[in-house]
Amino acid sequence: MARPTTISDDAILEAAREVFLERGPSATTAEVAARAGVSEGSIFKRWRTKDALFFACMAPVPIAEMGWIAKLPARVGTRTFRENLEEIALEIVALFRLIMPSILMQQAMGEQHRRMSDFETAPPIVARRKLAAYLDAERKLGRVRAIDVDVMARAMLGALFSFVHLEVSMAGQDPSPIAAETYVRGFIEILVAGAVPADATSKPKRR
């Protein structure tokens, strides 16, 4: 008699993620079991509660899967600084689009902050530090003026997160949607060039 096929934890978690994103936190483990093709009892043998299953499948993306971070060192000193920032920003937008549904779902459950504290080094903190390190390396080459690279990293990540957050949470409701490429190009232009002309004086002009 053939032994029954054993489904992996990852396959069940992928099915659970699909179900929770489609149905919300109210989705049942029975629905997950049906999607995964396993019995409900086999799910509870691996995750003791529905909440445990929910947070396992909605866990933040590991640092190892943040491809844009791995590319940062090779980008130092190459092409133009603005081109690099635009490319990095679009890759970050792609990542945020991938994980935003999970973030919003966890916020709805009121558990995201607790779950994030489970990480010895939270991915958002590592991402900010790595981006700041890249900016600092460019600064040392003279391609960036003497700025606070941590502030610039925070501004960039914060603006991109906000863009995707609104894009996902207000899908179909924004009367004036903007393409990611357009937003990134405009934002990076402001970030790199600044909003004040180089020859502007500190005194306001009289009307």
What the block records as the tokens of 191 is 């970030």
More confident residue, 185 or 4: 185
For residue 96, give the nearest of 13, 48, 161, 18 by alpha carbon: 161
Domains along the sequence of the chain with CATH: 9-57 (1.10.10.60), 63-193 (1.10.357.10)
**Has residue 171 got a pLDDT over 90?**
no
Torsion, Cα of 175, 86, 93, 126 (10° steps): -140
If pLDDT is split at 50, 70 and 90, which confidence band does 7 have?
confident
What is the chain's Cα-based Rg?
A: 22
The amino acid present at 98, given as its one-letter code, is L
- C-alpha span between 50 and 109 (Å, rounded): 12
Name the pTM for this structure: 0.71
